[in-house]
Amino acid sequence: MLTTNIKKVVLASSLLAIAGSASAGYEIKINDTDTITFGGYIKVDARYVDGDVGYRDFWIGTGAALEESASQFRINANETRFNTKYVSGDLMGFIEMDFYGGGGNQVISNSSNPRLRHAFIKYKGLTAGQTWSTFMNTSALPETADFAGATVGIVFNRQGQLRYDMGNFQVSIENPESYGGDASNDDLPDVVARYNWKGDWGSVSFSALGRSLNTTSGKSETAFGGSIAGRIKTFGKDDFRFQYHAGEVGRYVSIAAATDLVGDEVEETTAYLAAYRHFWTDTLRSSIVYGNVTTEIGDVDRTQWSVNLFQNLTPKLAIGFEVGNFEMADQDVDSNYGQLSLKYAL
């Protein structure tokens, strides 16, 4: 009993110390099988946008087309995130939040509500909860100041799911949504299968997606899509990251650029991203990024490109500057942007 109480006091003291610290990248060992890890990062962004696509804190697959060009400058820290991982033998729980939940105003407080990003449980090969879709390969995301970088060309989706890993093969059932249709009748989960191929050269994933979509007129339509994505090592510490997605992938790609359905028809979408990262020194590096998405029925055509430079001031603190452009060619509008970011990895 005394030993148990001492452990509780030590743990409570550790938690209080971490809560009051600016840096919380710590692992607390409770016993031989149990640990608690605190992580995340604090990120501050100074962003300038100029053009006829309205300002956003980060680009997604769509935007507000302006009648006249406008310029806007803002500083925010909303991308800041905190996470906690709990491990007990083969059992792991993970939860993470950031501050893109809305709320507040720029007149007084600039308050931002917390938002749930991840909350899932892993036990041996099973994953249950909300996390990145199995269709998404996070290792193929480029390093950018703009959040996620060229989102028009990537799979970007977090949702509830049940996933089972069998070596390099993964299969999942995931939360359904008939985006652009009648989501109230979604009674079958989305199904994703993925194979991961890894080696000293890097990694590549091959993914397939199958869904049942419901139109607003009461019809049920099947949808299928595929994806290949990866990160390939090139020279020294350099790497090439790429993604290519095609078929009836809808809401899984490009963050709202494409819907799953247009009327009673299933939308066909093609999206791709290419990014090369070069290390000038061990701590100084640049990435050049290009992404595009097009759709057949909605005739969407969106592009984003960027070039950046990052320098680690300390092992945990990096500063970066990025310039780029976001274009909605289907509406004949675009905006240039510049962003300075400071990131403290906890």
pLDDT digits (tens, 9 = 90+) for 162-205: 999 999 999 999 999 999 999 999 999 999 999 999 999 999 99
Q: Which residues, other chains included, contact 307 with Cβ-Cβ below 8 Å and sequence gap of 6+?
A: 286, 287, 288, 289, 322, 323, 324
| CATH number for 163 | 2.40.160.10
Q: Are residues 20 and 59 in the same domain?
A: no
pTM of the predicted structure, to 2 decimals: 0.90
Q: Are residues 96 and 233 in the same domain?
A: yes
- Asked if residue 141 has pLDDT above 70, the reply is yes
pLDDT at 103: 84
Paired tokens of 214: 């419901």
Q: Are residues 17 and 85 in the same domain?
A: no
Q: Where are the alpha helices (DSSP H) in the chain?
A: 2-19
Q: Are residues 52 and 27 in the same domain?
A: no
Average pLDDT over residues 127-147: 97
* Centroid of chain to Cα 277: 18
C-alpha 204/C-alpha 159 separation (Å) is: 22
Residue 264's nearest CA partner among 223, 321, 203, 221 is: 221
Q: Are residues 305 and 193 in the same domain?
A: yes
For 192-219, b/e burial (b = at least 16 CB within 10 A) is bebebeeeeebbbbebbbebbbbbeeee
Using pLDDT thresholds of 50, 70 and 90, give the confidence band for residue 26: confident
pLDDT digits (tens, 9 = 90+) for 226-273: 999 999 999 999 999 999 999 999 999 999 999 999 999 999 999 999
Q: Are residues 257 and 110 in the same domain?
A: yes
C-alpha 205/C-alpha 196 separation (Å) is: 4
Domain that holds residue 12: 1-31
- In the chain, the number of structural domains is 2
Q: Are residues 257 and 148 in the same domain?
A: yes
Q: Are residues 1 and 127 in the same domain?
A: no
Q: Are residues 43 and 128 in the same domain?
A: yes
Q: Are residues 16 and 85 in the same domain?
A: no
**Counting every residue, how long is the chain?**
346
Q: Are residues 37 and 177 in the same domain?
A: yes
Q: Are residues 25 and 43 in the same domain?
A: no
| pLDDT-wise least confident of 93-107, 112-126, 284-298 | 93-107
Residue 95's nearest CA partner among 76, 73, 122, 77 is: 122
